[in-house]
A and B are shown apart, each in its own frame.
Chain A
Amino acid sequence: MLDLKSLPLPTADEEIWRYSRIDLLQPERFTPSPVRTDVVDPHGVCSTTATSSAVASPDVFAALNAESMSELRVDVPAGTTLEAPIIITHYIDAGTATLPRTIVEMGRDAEATIVEQFVSVESGVALCVPVLSARLDDAARLRYLAVNDLDTEAWQIGHQLAEQGRDTSLLLSTVTLGGYYTRARTEARALGSGSQTRQVALYFAAGEQMHDFRVIQSHEAPHTSSDLLFKGAVQDHARSVYTGLISIDETARQTSAHQTNRNLTLSEGAWAESVPNLDIRTNDVSCSHASTVGPIDAEQRFYLESRGVPPEVAERLVVLGFFDEVIDRLPRVDIVDAVRRRVVERLNIATEEVRP
């Protein structure tokens, strides 16, 4: 049985937990429970096992997840292209602590789209500590999307690790709308030459929510490329943090790596931080990073208003336009339409609050 009370929690004094809400976490409030998971598996490649595959654990939460009593495995055989997406939905009950663990093994030259959703069954506190491990054998192609739609009192502290072989292609994407505090540590390791990685995220925090991303683009082989686009908005008293690292080691010559993080602060009381970093240990690379934090551009708003569009509608159009660039890069699955609708709903709620 899990012992959450004796979990050696980190503190916000540690650089890696800086800005986080880790000091507010009280694990003893939660009851360890098995996670209830639905899987749409049209090709029959998923299985649930009691064994726990070895995955590197960068922190106490990933280590906690390794004690999970079961894991969901997705094994896509070599040379197989799965036409229909695999949809994994985790249902989180209030008051529980759950450890969803998903292991994806992409065989050589395999191709798949996987969506993993986290949904609250009811409102109330909960702690969800998921781990995703995706390994791509040579020439495999994976499009992965995680959607966090948890209740606004729920905690999620997750870890995503992808390891890519030669000539692989990975889309590692995240949509975060839910959670009181949602932390995602995402690490894409380019281990084989010629691998390509796209990392994309959309996050939108409102009320008292906080979304916290730690993202690593790790280039450990030559001729690899990565492109990251994270776009978020915060409104009311919400907070967000993006901390990104492009890491290029000595062997990864002829590498290109780009990271872009853009944040909209939609309310006076909202706060966003963006910290892009570069650690480049070889020459002969092409790297860039860009980050912005700020309110909606006043000129854009005035332009739309001058056509006769009321301010709240102008704001909605600009924010949706801002997010559409990310939405266009997500895997083409039906769930993405729902994501866009959820963004619109959230904006509608906000604009109704400011109406006199």
Chain B
Amino acid sequence: MSMLSISDLRGGVADTDILHGINLNVDAGEVHAIMGPNGAGKSTLSAVLMGRPGYYVSGGTVTLDGADILAMPTWQRAAAGLHLVMQYPSEVPGVSIQSVLIEALQRRGRDDDDVDALLATEAERIGFAPAFLARSLNVDMSGGEKKRNETLQLAVLQPKVAILDELDSGLDIDALRDCSRRVEALSDEGMGVVAITHYSRLLEELRPDHIHILVKGCIVASGGPELADVLERDGYGAFTGVDAADEGTSADDASSSLDDLFRM
């Protein structure tokens, strides 16, 4: 049995169905990349898995080490070992990273005595300026600093499975490398990774074992790292298959009509 098992997951946001049956199995230490064009449902997948308000599940199951994740409120999913690194981390004025991590560690039954030391070590490891540790969560931080902050929390909490929602957005090349290396090290220690991304740039750093192509709420192709090369060469057009062929789209104008396909 896989650590994280997603089976025929359907759902959406507001009253719009976006996910049309997602299947994905993630084992300990595996790195899976989910790639797709804008509007494919990438962020919806991460939102549904974590239980973001406003999103709904209309079918399917998600288990983490056999436990029914969808039956749990968000905080229990996190305490059970599922972690979401957010694309746009919220600013929370007046709330320190220490106070949140102390609460978070307690809920996991873990020791919270040395949070400060742990944070200092991890901050240095990913090049997060120690001065930011004294700030309110994400307040007055650049996009890159917020992502380092997200990675820092990931490293302290050490979940079973991490979902990285567009970790690479807003990151300069140095920050991307620092954050990716930390994620890689965690995965070497057994953390499963689901990296959701639009671009292949993250993959050069993260080197996933499996790549899945998400189009219009379905995984249309899965494979090894070689899929990234196909993407790089042909774009997402290579994976729209039957739909595009049925419409008689020629290779020449594929990009413009694919735009239409991807637009939700």
A325 contacts which chain B residues (CB < 8 A)? 93-94
Q: Among B74, B83, B91, point to the contact of A305 (Cβ < 8 A).
A: B74
Question: Per-residue CB proximity of B70-100 to A under 8 Å, as 1/0?
Answer: 0001111011000110100111111100011
A303 contacts which chain B residues (CB < 8 A)? 86, 89-90, 92, 137
Q: Among A299, A310, A317, A318, point to the contact of B107 (Cβ < 8 A).
A: A310
Question: Per-residue CB proximity of B111-144 to A under 8 Å, as 1/0?
Answer: 0000000000000000000000000110000000
Assess whether B78 is in contact with A302, with CB atoms less than 8 Å apart. no
Assess whether B53 is in contact with A302, with CB atoms less than 8 Å apart. yes
> In the complex, A151→B157 CA distance in Å?
43
Q: Among A306, A313, A322, A324, point to the contact of B74 (Cβ < 8 A).
A: A306
Separation in Å of the B40 CB from the closest CB of chain A?
22
Assess whether B94 is in contact with A322, with CB atoms less than 8 Å apart. yes
Assess whether B94 is in contact with A307, with CB atoms less than 8 Å apart. no
**Minimum CB distance partner of A303 in chain B:** B90
Assess whether A311 is in contact with B73, with CB atoms less than 8 Å apart. yes
Separation in Å of the A99 CB from the closest CB of chain B?
38
Q: Known contacts A303-B89, A306-B84: does B75 contact A311 (CB below 8 Å)? A: yes
Residue B104 CB within 8 A of the other chain: yes
A320 contacts which chain B residues (CB < 8 A)? 94-95
Residue B50 CB within 8 A of the other chain: yes
Assess whether B73 is in contact with A321, with CB atoms less than 8 Å apart. no
Assess whether B93 is in contact with A310, with CB atoms less than 8 Å apart. no
Q: Among A297, A308, A311, A324, point to the contact of B90 (Cβ < 8 A).
A: A297
Assess whether A306 is in contact with B79, with CB atoms less than 8 Å apart. no
Residue A287 CB within 8 A of the other chain: no
Residue B103 CB within 8 A of the other chain: yes
A322 contacts which chain B residues (CB < 8 A)? 93-94
B100 contacts which chain A residues (CB < 8 A)? 304, 307, 309, 317
B107 contacts which chain A residues (CB < 8 A)? 308-310
Q: Among A298, A300, A306, point to the contact of B50 (Cβ < 8 A).
A: A306
Q: Among B83, B90, B108, point to the contact of A302 (Cβ < 8 A).
A: B90
**Minimum CB distance partner of A297 in chain B:** B90
A302 contacts which chain B residues (CB < 8 A)? 52-53, 74, 90
Residue B151 CB within 8 A of the other chain: no
> In the complex, A306→B53 CA distance in Å?
11
Residue A323 CB within 8 A of the other chain: yes
> In the complex, A306→B85 CA distance in Å?
9
**Minimum CB distance partner of A308 in chain B:** B78
Q: Among B50, B90, B157, point to the contact of A299 (Cβ < 8 A).
A: B90
Q: Among A298, A311, A313, A321, point to the contact of B92 (Cβ < 8 A).
A: A321
B84 contacts which chain A residues (CB < 8 A)? 306
A297 contacts which chain B residues (CB < 8 A)? 90
B94 contacts which chain A residues (CB < 8 A)? 318, 320-325
Assess whether A308 is in contact with B99, with CB atoms less than 8 Å apart. no
Residues of A in contact (CB 8 Å), total: 24
> In the complex, A322→B139 CA distance in Å?
13
Separation in Å of the B13 CB from the closest CB of chain A?
14
Residue B5 CB within 8 A of the other chain: no
> In the complex, A310→B153 CA distance in Å?
17
Q: Known contacts A297-B90, A317-B103, A321-B136: does B95 contact A307 (CB below 8 Å)? A: no
B103 contacts which chain A residues (CB < 8 A)? 307-309, 313, 317
> In the complex, A303→B78 CA distance in Å?
11
**Minimum CB distance partner of A328 in chain B:** B94
Question: Per-residue CB proximity of A165-176 to B under 8 Å, as 1/0?
Answer: 000000000000
> In the complex, A321→B90 CA distance in Å?
14
Assess whether A306 is in contact with B92, with CB atoms less than 8 Å apart. no
Assess whether B95 is in contact with A318, with CB atoms less than 8 Å apart. yes
Residue B101 CB within 8 A of the other chain: yes
Separation in Å of the B87 CB from the closest CB of chain A?
12
Assess whether B73 is in contact with A305, with CB atoms less than 8 Å apart. yes
Assess whether A304 is in contact with B86, with CB atoms less than 8 Å apart. no
Q: Known contacts A307-B153, A320-B94, A323-B94: does B74 contact A298 (CB below 8 Å)? A: no
B91 contacts which chain A residues (CB < 8 A)? 300
Assess whether B95 is in contact with A305, with CB atoms less than 8 Å apart. no
Q: Known contacts A298-B53, A303-B92, A321-B136: does B157 contact A308 (CB below 8 Å)? A: yes
**Minimum CB distance partner of A312 in chain B:** B75
> In the complex, A153→B95 CA distance in Å?
33
Q: Which residues of B contact A (CB under 8 A)?
A: 50, 52-53, 73-76, 78-79, 83-84, 86, 89-95, 99-101, 103-104, 107-108, 136-137, 153, 157
17 residue pairs of the A-B complex, CB under 8 angstroms, read A302-B53, A303-B89, A304-B100, A305-B75, A306-B74, A306-B75, A308-B75, A308-B107, A309-B100, A311-B73, A313-B103, A317-B95, A317-B99, A321-B92, A321-B93, A321-B136, A322-B94
Per CB-CB distance, the 7 closest pairs between chain A and chain B, nearest first, are A321-B94, A308-B78, A303-B90, A321-B95, A305-B74, A308-B104, A324-B94
> Besides the contacts A309-B78, A309-B107, what 9 more A-B pairs have beta carbons closer than 8 Å?
A299-B90, A300-B90, A300-B92, A302-B52, A303-B90, A303-B137, A306-B75, A308-B103, A325-B94
Q: Which residues of A contact B (CB under 8 A)?
A: 297-300, 302-311, 313-314, 317-318, 320-325
